[in-house]
Amino acid sequence: MIVQVENLRKNYDYYQKDQGLKNSLKNIIRRKKLVKEAVKDISFSMEEGEVVGFIGPNGAGKTTTLKMLSGILFPTGGSAVVGGYVPWERKKRFKMSFSIVMGQKTQLNWDLPAIESFNLNKHIYEVSDADYKRTVGELTETLDVGPLLKTQVRRLSLGERMKMELIAALIHRPKIIFLDEPTIGLDMVSQKNIREFIRQYNRQTGATVILTSHYMNDIESLCKRAVIINDGQIAYDGGLAAISDTVSASKLIKVRFLETVPESQAAQYGAVKEYDGLSAVLEVPKEVLKERSKEILDGLPVMDFNITDTSIEDAISLIYAKGGDAP
């Protein structure tokens, strides 16, 4: 296993302060200390070369976990081994083996061309001239940003800057890559280009990737496995395609009618999720699926009939709603 996490925890201490001068003075003498459990005893592992979606709502503990796995934060408890190293020991060989890209933070110098930041990383990571030239050449060609290398970073579009961020992070060809919201704020075309680049880079280099994103297209396009974290706990760890079947107690029946059917009549066979008169999507409990399907075929003027799982996005929302309880 290239990543092994056991009972990892992270708590933050903070202080409560009520409004007003009187309470401010009172806080000088005695403050009420509170504890926020950001990550609660999570455990998971990853094989080399895997691309895993690490997903959850805002405040679930995703970024905190990535910061611990990259050695930025020291944990409150538990253990982790990443690429053979304990991250928070921050050994030089470990720091040379991974990269972290955070969509809302930049590692590029805002006032200089991106090529200057690339050159700085070359020296930080002790990359040879030949390897540096080859890597920058390959990555700029793949991402189609060659003409922009000498452009001041502040003058790049968000999509162009994110491409430069990825190049800067990959100068030393890391074995492990942490991507925290790499497509946040990008338009659909830029998102697609970034996804295709990550897929291609993983295929060519065998790098292990942990990806956090609120865009399900990112997760579905790149990951076969998802780790869902909610309220600091792992709520699901398994195949992405199996999420709906694992957590949802219902199926969707999509029906097209030969003639207009009143919504109230369609609703007799299941919860109406979509309806336009000539078609409907009905949510039906799994345990009565067979009987309900027969009733629909016998009782309605059906032209087309299809049974599907609830969407992955809806299934993940259901996990969020459970407040971190495993399905």
pLDDT in tens, the chain (327 residues): 999 999 999 999 888 777 777 777 777 777 778 899 999 999 999 999 999 999 988 888 999 999 999 999 999 999 999 999 999 999 999 999 999 998 878 889 999 999 999 999 999 999 999 999 999 999 999 999 999 999 999 999 989 999 999 999 999 999 999 999 999 888 888 899 999 999 999 999 999 999 998 888 899 899 999 999 988 999 899 998 788 676 677 889 999 999 999 999 999 999 999 999 999 999 999 899 999 999 999 999 999 999 987 777 777 877 777 654 444
Q: Which whole-number Å values give the CA distances from 202 to 50, 145, 183, in the listed order? A: 8, 20, 17
* Fold observed for domain 3-9+39-243: Rossmann fold (3.40.50)
Residue-range domain boundaries for the chain: 3-9+39-243, 249-309
pTM for this entry:
0.80
190: helix, strand or coil: helix
Say if domain 249-309 classifies as CATH 3.30.70: yes
Q: Which whole-number Å values give the CA distances from 254 to 1, 117, 150, 191, 315, in the listed order? A: 42, 53, 53, 30, 18
What pLDDT is attached to residue 26? Answer: 75
Residues 257 and 303 sit within 8 Å (Cβ to Cβ): yes
What pLDDT is attached to residue 327? Answer: 46
- The rounded distance, in Å, linking the Cα atoms of 294 and 231 is 41
Q: Which whole-number Å values give the CA distances from 144 to 91, 122, 148, in the listed order? A: 34, 21, 9
Q: Provide φ and ψ at 101, rounded to 5°.
A: -120, 125
- The rounded distance, in Å, linking the Cα atoms of 132 and 111 is 22
Residues 230 and 323 sit within 8 Å (Cβ to Cβ): yes
